[in-house]
Chain A
Amino acid sequence: MTYEELLTQMSLADERIVVMTAENRALVRNLPGILGKRFIDTGITEQTMVGAAAGLALRGRTPIVHALASFLTMRAFEFVRTDAGIPDLPVKLSGFIPGFLSDGNGPTHQAIEDISIMRGIPNVNVFAPADEDDLVKMLPTIWNAKSPAYTRINTRKTDHEHAPFEWGKAEVVAEGKDVTILTYGLLFEQALVSVEILKNEGLSVGLINMRSLKPVDEQAILSATESGLVVTLEDHFVTGGLYSIVAEVLLKHRRTANVLPIALNNRWFKPGLLPAVLQYEGFTGKQIAEKILGYQTSHQQGEILINEFSE
């Protein structure tokens, strides 16, 4: 099932849902025809759209709100905080092309601080699916909840079949004694490659799909520290994202661990097509594995599919 199919199905079953977009129709191409007046395109007005979503929510609606992740979380930030966050209204944000998925657009379009700023707003919950299967598994729970939420949309396909989604729970894909990789979003598909390489190099490797970043699964993070090394892997600034979340959780529980953050360090990434971006920035599965190992291997990196959004 695709994002659009799920949204269509849920909107038709639930009159409260309205679908909104700031003229970003990639994920909702057919919704205007299906939903009629329950489809609201406010044009390129992210602030007004989020404010209007709060007004609709005041009247009992559940607005599912679409825009590019950078503009939804940053252009409209104060509207999210003040109009959806303070009154705790069920405004559901769907941020498109977050992280590395903005490939060739440049820094203006790079949402790599979105997790940090969205989770900083009281009442707003934050989710980051590993792929389309994960996305479709989590959205019904997110959209049915009473609180505002931000979902980092990722419609890429992987071969992994995810466990059912549980609010506030991570998905423990594998447990390992030597290394545990904690990740979310697009980089899950590279982490799968890394895990295979690390296993071939003789390591016992764990992998956790963090998927629900707020509320976060503290127990999953704590249990990961039982392996020799915890790796936080994210297409996000090192500040405020998963590395920070792990640090907060460990400190709260008076625990320490060897943690290797693999994230973007205080700069925007080099724009280009996705496979080249991952290679340039050192985020292919092979590069991640070699960073963890501390040496080069002869393993081959498989093909990374380009980022396609075509309807």
Chain B
Amino acid sequence: MDKKYTNTQLEAIALNVREHIVRMSTDGGCFTGASLSAVDLIVYLYTNFLNVNADNLDDPNRDYLFLSKGHDVPALYGTFAELGLMDKSRLQNHLSINDHIYWHPNTHIPGIEFHSGSLGHLPSVAIGVALDIKLRNGSNKVVCILGDGELNEGTCWEAVLVANAYKLDNLIFVVDRNHFQANVRTEDLIPLEPLADKFEAFGAVVKRINGHDFSQLHEAFSAFPFQKEKLNVVIADTVRGKGLPSIQERADRWFCNFSAGEVEQLLLELHGNHQTELTSETLIVR
């Protein structure tokens, strides 16, 4: 598969998306850490993998991306803004009662295929779409991004069982494996490892990669479909808060509502060695 965007271009887009996320992390805030872990993954998928653009959003032959994790939607808003699916100025409406840019995805935003926020729903919805594509002999790809904490929900595993039963090789479950769920490390609460073995035992073909490395993302997704009649699973190891050392892998920085001053410092931090002194409240739970 040819690369439409080079790694250097992807890195530039991802940095812009991270800036958008930081700017949304104030005046009510958002799930900053969980969004930053998913940025590179989402940017890669919409640039070099999915056949989705501003002109084909209603085309039944387009590819589908379902954001099941949901609270990482600022990464999606930012990616849409950078790729021309959404007007950049609309990002300033985050949490405005007069727009639909809030903490979870919704279909008032063109390009968002389905609403989410309650975990473990979209693997099932993605199965329905993938089943219909099979029924119609279509060649569209269906991607569903899951959080690792989300894998606690039993419906995720029911979906893997069903996808295996119906041989859905047009479906890819991508796990944003940032090793945290809300305020604790996954392995300290409901351990998931060995995660690849679990999916494989359920009949999927698994690729495990560094979810911030565009070369590895390219290598993994270029191999789609991984094997005929098998569900594809990509476990993307990521870092919660990636790009901002001051919140990276901090249990108490899940939902962030920074002050305006902190936002200015964090924007500098994204670009280099600036260290931000954070004084805003931690552990805000939504």
Interface residues of A (CB under 8 A from B): 23-26, 29, 41-45, 47-48, 70-71, 75, 97, 104-109, 270-273, 276-277, 279-280, 306, 308-311
Contact = CB atoms under 8 A, between A and B. Distances in A.
A42 B190 contact: yes
Contact of B154 (A25, A47, A270): A47
A278 B98 CA distance: 13
B118 A104 contact: no
B283 A104 contact: no
Contacts of A23: 149, 152, 181-184, 189
Nearest to A27: B285
How many of chain B's residues touch chain A, expressed as a range?
20 to 34
Interface stretch (B54-62, B101-109, B193-201, B271-279): B101-109
B28 A104 contact: yes
Interface of A is mostly: loop
Contacts of A75: 118
A40 B102 CA distance: 31
Contacts of B181: 23, 43-44
A25 to B, nearest CB: 6
Contacts of A272: 95-97, 102
A71 B118 contact: yes
A277 B102 CA distance: 12
Nearest to B118: A108
A106 B150 contact: no
Contacts of B284: 308-310
B153 A25 contact: no
A309 B257 CA distance: 12
- Interface core residue of A41, A42, A276, A310 (most chain B CB under 10 Å): A310
B116 interface: yes
B102 A25 contact: no
Contacts of B119: 44
B115 A43 contact: no
Contacts of A29: 283
B194 to A, nearest CB: 17
B132 interface: no
B285 A309 contact: yes
14 contacts: A23-B181, A43-B181, A45-B152, A45-B154, A48-B154, A106-B115, A108-B104, A109-B104, A271-B100, A273-B28, A273-B95, A309-B284, A311-B283, A311-B285
B103 A43 contact: no
B225 interface: no
B70 interface: yes
A108 B120 CA distance: 12
Contacts of A309: 284-286
Contacts of B182: 23-25
Given A106-B102, A271-B100, 12 more contacts: A23-B182, A41-B189, A42-B152, A44-B149, A45-B153, A97-B286, A104-B286, A109-B117, A273-B95, A273-B97, A309-B285, A310-B281
A42 B153 CA distance: 10
A309 B282 CA distance: 10
Contacts of B281: 310
A270 B97 contact: yes
Interface in B128-172: 149-150, 152-154
